[in-house]
Amino acid sequence: MQADQNQTTDPSPWALVTGASAGIGQEFCRQLAAGGYRLVLVARRADRLHSLATELRQLHGTACLILPTDLSESGASTSIAKRLKKEDITVEFLVNNAGYGLPGRFNDNSWRKHEEFIQVMVTAVCELTRHLLPAMQEIKKGYIVNVSSVAGLIPASESHTLYGASKAFLVLFSETLALENRFHGVNVSALCPGFTYSEFHDVNNTREMMSKLPKSIWLNAEEVVAYGIESVMRSKPRVIAIPGFYYRFLVTITRYLPGMGRWMIGRQSKRFRQLD
């Protein structure tokens, strides 16, 4: 763990991003740094965090606190909160982005793997938010983006059994937090992108499969993050933020025609889910 630059003389607010080492998380760091935030960088890969911190410092003079952390470990979020308190850091902008996919059907994976998945995708998000929210409420200013997915808004597909369920949890969690904090100056948004170019599909070994999908449905991380930041920082934030017209249309269709939606997703599962 290390801090870059003198933190005591810089009046810029702090943002914390989990899963900061690649993809959407990395892009959040770049855009928030460009917007004047200092960054707390959280991910497992310390080398990537150091490289990103160097990049942000060179481009924007951004101060960074690097916290290599495995959020699948119980108590990881509490350790982060303790370090922030030690450094006297109040986080104004929280991005709960860390996540991954667990390919296969439910019984294809051990319970230990499912347990670690739930820890990262659900428990760590709730725990870290619980630690950081009171300070936002106290200063009457804060932004929380929970990176969910279109998968949490449409009918479930076969395989990756807990992925859509965890993302649906984040949507409802965000909606409730938004209602609870609307008079505390804290904006909350669930960012729900569809297929986005990143390392996500390389990590869960579905890159070859995903490459067969039409290019027209793919988003890039820059547009997803820009939409997410704009959505949560509006005077009337988008509590459910869905980047891309195609995905907003898809969600609308499956919401009002659920039977058709289930049929469509079930029929197409093999195109974008790893099935044995």
Which residues are the active-site residues? 163
List for the chain the helix, strand, coil content (%; round to 5).
50, 15, 35
Question: Alpha-carbon distance 154 to 176, whole Å?
Answer: 19
CA dihedral 58, 81, 187, 241 (to 10 degrees): 70
DSSP designation for 106: G
What is the rounded distance in angstroms from the CA atom of residue 25 to the CA atom of residue 48?
12
Nearby residues of 140 by Cβ (< 8 Å), 6 or more positions away: 184, 185
Cβ neighbours of 54 (radius 10 Å) = 12
Radius of gyration of the chain (CA): 18
Sheet holding 2-3, edge to edge: 2-3, 64-68, 38-43, 14-18, 91-96, 142-147, 186-191, 240-241
Residue 111: what residue type? Answer: W
